[in-house]
Amino acid sequence: MTTGTITIRGSVYQGAQRYAKEHNVSLDTFVESIIVKAIGLDRPKRVKKKKFKLKSFDELSPRVRSLIGPGNASKEVEEDINGRNARMEYLEEKYGK
C-alpha cells in the first residue's frame, strides 16, 4: 500500500537496496521493518507487575494462621525466609566449622 513518498540520498538508497538483496527481502519490507522498530510497534506493551511483599504473621487471615499454626510464626522464620541460616547451622553441625 503506497501512502507517501520519502526522499533520501542516493547512497543511502543504494545501500538499503544492497542490504535487502543480500538478505533476500524486498526493499519495502526492509525499510518498513526499520520504521516499525524505530517507532516501537514491534514491542508488546509492558504490563506492570505487582511487587510481592511477604506478609507478617499478624497480617495473615485467621484461616491461614490456623493452617500455619502458632509454632511456626517465629521472628527467625521471617528473617530466614530462604532457609540459609538453617542450612548453614545444619552444615556446621554435620561437618564442623
Which of 8, 59, 63 is closest to 35 using CA atoms?
8
Q: List, for residues 24-44, the tens digit of each pLDDT value.
A: 999 988 988 888 888 887 776
In single-letter form, the type of residue at position 72 comes to: N
Query: Which one has a higher pLDDT value, 41 or 91?
Result: 91
* Nearest one of 50, 52, 57, 49 to 79, comparing CA atoms: 57
Domain ranges across the chain: 1-46, 57-95
Residue 78: predicted pLDDT: 61
pLDDT of residue 19: 92
Euclidean distance between CA atoms 73 and 57, whole angstroms: 6
